[in-house]
Structures are given as structure tokens and as C-alpha cells.
Chain A
Amino acid sequence: MSDATATATAPALIAANGDSLREAFGKALSALADEFPKLVVLDADIAGGTGVHHFRKSHPDRFVQFGIAEQNMMSAAGGMAAVGLVPVVTTFAVFCLRAIEQARLSLGYARRNAKIVASHPGLDVGPDGGSAQALEDLAAFRAIPGMTVISPADATEMALATRAILEFDGPVYMRTGRSPSVRIFGDDHTFTIGKGQVIREGDDLTLIACGTQVARALAAADLLAADGISARVVNMATIKPIDAGLVEKCARETGAIVTAEDHNIHGGLGGAVSEALAATHPCPVEFVGVKDVFGASGEPEELAHHYGIAAPHIAAAARRALARKRTRA
């Protein structure tokens, strides 16, 4: 395995402001294809949905259609990696769950240099409804030994992460996203697998978020600032391996933590952060996520409010965490 902390160097910024994460991923993949001649892209009849229609157009000779048959596609990626290619398996996050046993054996257990890139995770899926909203994928893929799990926060970071996973040697599961994304990072942003980043300083507590919840965590920090609460915000784009050092540092320096993810509260970012804290510097933790129920149809922002993962909910969780911290003190 190569150095897990290899920092991706910034490619030309491919993503446009407001691009969905899936579009940003698809454009980045196409732009990087000439630099990574072993890269092949696998699709299960949803290239338009996952963003890899860009790659299909630019590099048709390295685009392989598998039809609506994700189990075969996932195992076949293992075969492609076995003969020296770098396969990128693309489908919706729920269909990655459908083929998770194939990912486990043919990719994880065989330790293949294959990348699974899942669009349509979480409530961010919106109107397609509960059946399509994967709220379990981070937990499930995190439990596969040796599987790196990544959820970038905006289009800029998605482009950087796409390069990083291609440079990294080993199996990776990465989430993109369906809905238009908020631009968070500028052209000077960097991305390193396994490293979180403090993207807003604060002393009273730390909000640790991934994916589309990073923008909401920043909005929550604004709400808290209006009340005189200084919230630090961490972008934790790599869920596994979790940046345990940064988690511990935030716990020591701020004494309370809120995790925020578009995922079930069980087993995802909150679980990973809590495991790190339990082993280092336990402190009050509040979990913002979907509370062990399935999603439903609606617009993403409506769903965020309905299921309690919007910015005001993160701010409310922060106040609870802060109260617990003060009780302990």
C-alpha cells in the first residue's frame, strides 16, 4: 500500500461553483484520465446520474458498461484490478450496498486497488424517496477491513479527492452527492486522505462534519456565534481512517463535540469520531444524523429540517453538548 497520507496536488479547478458533487467527480475523472492510463470506469446504466457520462464521452475505450447488474460489476472490478487496471466502480450508494458482499470479497479481502464511487447518498437524494436514500453506506463500508471511506464536502474538494484516490493504492469507497452543492473551498484548498481540517476556529466546542453537512455545520457556527458561542468547525472528509489525532486535539482544546452527517446516527462519522475519542480523550458528544429511521420523498433542504440534520439542529445539538461540558466542569 502506498502512503495513506499522500497529499493530492491541486489539479486545474474543474468544478464550477454550484456543481453537484457527482458532476464535479465526473468532470474530474475525465480530466484526470490521460494522466492515469490504467484508469477504467465501470457503469451500471446510470452514467448520467453518477457523472461519468463525461468520461464515457472523453474516453469511451476505457468505459465499460455492465447494465443493471451491480453484483457482477463489483466483482468484475476485482478482476480488472487483478490484471493491473485501476477500476472505478460507479453507481448509486444504495446499489453499492446491494453489492457490498462482492465489495467485501472481490475487492476488500483480495485487497484490490479498486475505487467505489457512490452518488446519491443520504437525504441529499431528495424526491426519489426513502428507498433510494442510502443512510447506511458509511457504516457498512467502514466495517470492511482495509477499506478507506471518504465523503468530500464541496465540488473543489471532490476534484482533489478524485485525484487522491487514484494516486492511493488500495480499495476506497467515496461518496459524491446528487444535489447542487455549496462552494466552501477556494483554489488554495488541499485534500489529504486520512486528514481532517479545521476550517473555522473556535474554543467552546467543535463541530465535526463530512460531505454536504460541512456547509450546514458552518451555517450552524454562524448561528452559534450570534449567541456568543465560539464553535470550531472541522471538515472530516475521510471517515476511515479517521484523523484520531485531530479529534483528540479538538476534544482537549474545546471539551465538547458535535458530529454532523447525512447518514444514520449509527456507525458513520459519529461512530468513527466516538471510537477515536473513547481511546484518547472522552468528552461530551452529540450526534446529528438521521435517527435510525428511513428517509422519504421531499426536497433535500425540507428533508434536512424534517429529519433534524439542518443547521438549526446542529446548533441545538451544540448547545446540548456545551451544557453537558459545563455540567462536567
Chain B
Amino acid sequence: MTMQARLKADPASANDHAARIEAGLGQAARFVRMHSIASIYHAGSGHPGGALSSADLFACLYGAEMNVSPRGVDDPRRDRFVLSKGHAAPALYAVGAYYGFCDAKDALRLRKLNSPFQGHPHVLDLPWVETSTGSLGQGISVAIGMAIGLRIQKNPARVYTMLGDGELQEGQVWEAAMAAAHHGLGALTAVIDYNKLQSDNSNDAIMRLEPLADKWRAFGWDVQEIDGHDIAAILAALRHAGTTPQPSVIIAHTVKGKGVPYMENIPLWHGSVKFTPQQAQEALDALGASEAEKKDFLDV
């Protein structure tokens, strides 16, 4: 049963229920952040900034919004998720581990030879990641193909994709934006992890994106702007996105490196980053990790 269905079934306890669910998703997001830091630490490289900025979005998608489950990875009716910003793979693996799509210890073997947890998601290694990404701009197009293909087959499943902000500089994204609106893909929800920073500097310094909401509106999308770290706001936005006849984009304003003060809003932590043991410890401390959690994540 989806969260919405549960709320509908028992309106009296809806507020309590919602608070419990939000607290649970907050815990999932905290796990995603800690696991991402740990896997990138063990790998000796990776992209922590965007993994931390997108953690709350991942938690809401996998923990509440999407009709997906580890037992249903072959179910044709499952919702599809495409990580267009493939470099946030550590966060995807972490949320997958939290919700049982993969083993949490295995997923710490990030970027290692013979590990299925490559630097960017690969569907032949991990079927539950749905497709291979890592070249910016392509994921949203793959998601569009899925949405059109599902509609041709009269399959009501929804399709979700997450994009980075720097990724929006790829021309292909705007080809895709035009096509999704033209084809009336109401089943498609795109979430933009808008942390304002990209590899080398701020979006504004590299290639300006604003006015971003106006751009998507002009392309014919339903547009919502939210605080991408506010669980209730994320859930509400995802819920609304499921009701629009046209494709929906959620511009989630986020903080790169969210949760780890020495990383927040510093482009250096986009990637590819090598954590020292002290930095990894400090990051987990900032996220409120217990000694047992630190041991689990770092002493592997």
C-alpha cells in the first residue's frame, strides 16, 4: 500500500501517520548520507556533494512515492526510476541498500574491480537500477522512452528521473523536455537536484540556468519549486506531480554536501574526491553517527 493509500484509509490518524512516515524517511536519508560518505571513502574517489544534496529526494522516492520493491524488480507494473545524474550513484546504491534492493556491506565496494557497484549505475550489473547512465542528459531521454513505451503497452506505471543542475546545460535535456511535453507524458516526473554547484564552480559562473522554472514552464511542463530537504514538501510535490496531464518537474532547491558542514556549498566536494580517514570520521560525526555505525561503515 502506498503512503497516500494508507492515509486515505485512515484519515483520523493521518497526521500521526504522516509524522511517523516523515521521521522514517529522515532516517533513510541519514543512512543514505552516511553510506555514501563511507562508500566514497573506501573507493578513494567519487562524488559526495551531489549524493548528500539528493539524499532526502532519494529517501522520499524509494521510501514512499514509488511503487517499487526488491521482490518486484521484474514486475512489469513497477514504477521506473532513472538516475540521469549518474554520478550520484553512491546515493542510489545507499537508498537501494536501505530498502533491501542490495546488501549494504556489498554496496560499500563502490568503484572496485568485479563489484557491481560501478562509479555510475549499470543495468547489466544491477537490474534494479533500470538503465545505465553516467553521460549527462541521456537519462531523461531514456525515461521518456520508458513512458512512451509503457503507454503504448497500456501499462499505468509511472516513470521518475533525477537530474543534476549542471546536467541541464546538455542540449539533449531540452530536446527531451520538448518531447515529453509534446507527447503529453503525464506519467513522467523529473526531479532536479538544484544545489547550484557543478564540477568546477557555481552554475552561475559556469553557465547560467536561471530563470529555470520559466524555462520548464515555457517547454510545457508542470513546475513546482520546493525545499529539497523538507520531507513533507518533497512528498507533497511528488503527489501533485502524479496528478498532472503534462509531465512534471520538481525543482528541488538543495545544499551541496548537505549535512556535513565542511562540505556544504563548496564546489571542491563535487568530485572526484578522496576522503582522508579523519574527514570520513568527521563527516559521519556531523551526521550523528553512533560509534557502532562508524565502525560498521568505516572499518570494512
Q: What residues of chain A have their CB less than 8 Å away from a CB belonging to chain B?
A: 40, 61-62, 64, 66-67, 69, 71-85, 87, 101-102, 105-106, 109-111
| A75-B137, A82-B123 known, 20 other contacts, Cβ within 8 Å | A40-B149, A64-B148, A73-B141, A74-B141, A76-B144, A77-B145, A78-B138, A79-B82, A79-B147, A79-B149, A82-B130, A82-B146, A83-B76, A83-B146, A87-B149, A101-B135, A105-B134, A109-B122, A110-B122, A110-B132
Kindly identify which residue among B147, B150, B178 contacts A69, using a CB–CB cutoff of 8 Å. B178
Question: Could you tell me the distance in whole angstroms from the C-beta of B97 to the nearest C-beta in chain A?
Answer: 22
Q: Is the CB of B141 within 8 A of A80?
A: no
What are 6 inter-chain pairs, A to B, with CB distance below 8 A?
A69-B178, A72-B176, A75-B141, A82-B123, A83-B153, A109-B122
Measured between beta carbons, the chain A residues less than 8 angstroms from B153 are 83-85
Kindly identify which residue among B139, B152, B172, B176 contacts A62, using a CB–CB cutoff of 8 Å. B152
Q: What class of interface size applies to chain B in its complex with A?
A: 35 or more
A78, A101, A110 interface centre (most CB from chain B within 10 Å) = A78
Measured between beta carbons, the chain B residues less than 8 angstroms from A87 are 145, 149
Determine if B201 is an interface residue (Cβ-Cβ < 8 Å).
no
Kindly identify which residue among B76, B133, B148, B182 contacts A76, using a CB–CB cutoff of 8 Å. B148
Measured between beta carbons, the chain B residues less than 8 angstroms from A73 are 141
A66, A67, A85 interface centre (most CB from chain B within 10 Å) = A66
Q: Which residues 90-129 in B have Cβ within 8 Å of A in the complex? A: 122-124
Q: What is the CA–CA distance of A101 and B138 in the complex, to the nearest angstrom?
A: 9
Determine if B87 is an interface residue (Cβ-Cβ < 8 Å).
no
Measured between beta carbons, the chain A residues less than 8 angstroms from B182 are 67
Q: What is the CA–CA distance of A72 and B140 in the complex, to the nearest angstrom?
A: 9
Q: What is the CA–CA distance of A61 and B152 in the complex, to the nearest angstrom?
A: 8
Q: What is the CA–CA distance of A85 and B139 in the complex, to the nearest angstrom?
A: 18
Kindly identify which residue among A64, A69, A109 contacts B132, using a CB–CB cutoff of 8 Å. A109
Q: Is the CB of B142 within 8 A of A106?
A: yes
Kindly identify which residue among A64, A67, A74, A109 contacts B178, using a CB–CB cutoff of 8 Å. A67
Q: Is the CB of A105 within 8 A of B149?
A: no
Measured between beta carbons, the chain B residues less than 8 angstroms from A67 are 175, 178-179, 182
Q: Is the CB of A82 within 8 A of B134?
A: no
Measured between beta carbons, the chain B residues less than 8 angstroms from A74 are 141
Q: Residues 9-38 of chain B: 1 if any A CB is under 8 Å from the residue's CB, otherwise 0? A: 000000000000000000000000000000
B134, B148, B153, B182 interface centre (most CB from chain A within 10 Å) = B148
Q: Is the CB of B175 within 8 A of A71?
A: yes
Determine if B241 is an interface residue (Cβ-Cβ < 8 Å).
no
Q: Is the CB of A71 within 8 A of B132?
A: no
Q: Is the CB of A75 within 8 A of B124?
A: no
Kindly identify which residue among A61, A72, A84, A109 contacts B144, using a CB–CB cutoff of 8 Å. A72
Determine if B143 is an interface residue (Cβ-Cβ < 8 Å).
yes
Determine if B276 is an interface residue (Cβ-Cβ < 8 Å).
no
Question: Could you tell me the distance in whole angstroms from the C-beta of B199 to the nearest C-beta in chain A?
Answer: 18
Determine if B243 is an interface residue (Cβ-Cβ < 8 Å).
no
Residue in chain A with minimal CB distance to B176: A72
Kindly identify which residue among A40, A66, A75, A83 contacts B138, using a CB–CB cutoff of 8 Å. A75
Question: Could you tell me the distance in whole angstroms from the C-beta of A102 to the nearest C-beta in chain B?
Answer: 6
Residue in chain B with minimal CB distance to A61: B152
Q: Is the CB of B131 within 8 A of A69?
A: no
Given A64-B148, A67-B178, A111-B124, CB of A79 within 8 Å of CB of B155: no
Measured between beta carbons, the chain B residues less than 8 angstroms from A102 are 138, 141, 172
Given A40-B149, A79-B144, A82-B145, CB of A69 within 8 Å of CB of B175: yes
Q: Is the CB of A106 within 8 A of B131?
A: yes
Q: Is the CB of B142 within 8 A of A76?
A: yes
Q: What is the CA–CA distance of A66 and B142 in the complex, to the nearest angstrom?
A: 13
Determine if B42 is an interface residue (Cβ-Cβ < 8 Å).
no
Measured between beta carbons, the chain B residues less than 8 angstroms from A69 are 175, 178-179
Q: Is the CB of A40 within 8 A of B137?
A: no
Question: Could you tell me the distance in whole angstroms from the C-beta of A296 to the nearest C-beta in chain B?
Answer: 29
Determine if B80 is an interface residue (Cβ-Cβ < 8 Å).
yes
Determine if B171 is an interface residue (Cβ-Cβ < 8 Å).
yes
Measured between beta carbons, the chain B residues less than 8 angstroms from A110 are 122-124, 131-132
Q: What is the CA–CA distance of A101 and B135 in the complex, to the nearest angstrom?
A: 9
Q: What is the CA–CA distance of A324 and B245 in the complex, to the nearest angstrom?
A: 70
